[in-house]
Copies of this chain bind each other. A is one copy, B any other.
């Protein structure tokens, strides 16, 4: 991922509602959630949620498919992946043990 895209992703995630949305979609996994249900679960108004979903989408962190009247949203794991790659690029100045804890944190037990 390039810098522009990384900045977009970080800005997208730096707002509470959007961070909540993203984590919710990460947790539900493959099945995703329709926009309306995301708004309900998080107690956010319809147009605010729509705008926030658009920002997350633009940032490459989520994607959606229409499903009848609803639109179902999913987390884009590739988005996080690319962001992390950019953050840790050429990391550690030759000291592997520096980034070890970061990697350890990510071996999720899913």
Residue of B nearest to A25 (CB): B93
Number of copies: 2
A77: chain B residues within 8 A (beta carbon): 98-99, 101-102
State the interface size on chain A (CB cutoff 8 A): 47
Q: Is the Cβ of A30 less than 8 Å from the Cβ of B106?
A: no
A99: chain B residues within 8 A (beta carbon): 77, 106, 108, 110
Docked complex Cα distance between A104 and B77 (Å):
12
A107: chain B residues within 8 A (beta carbon): 103
Q: Is the Cβ of B23 less than 8 Å from the Cβ of A87?
A: yes
Q: A6-B19, A29-B98 are in contact. Are A84 and B84 (CB under 8 A)?
A: yes
Q: Is the Cβ of A84 less than 8 Å from the Cβ of B110?
A: no
Q: Is the Cβ of B88 less than 8 Å from the Cβ of A30?
A: no
Which 6 interchain pairs have the tightest Cβ spacing? Answer: A29-B93, A10-B14, A92-B110, A11-B14, A81-B105, A81-B102
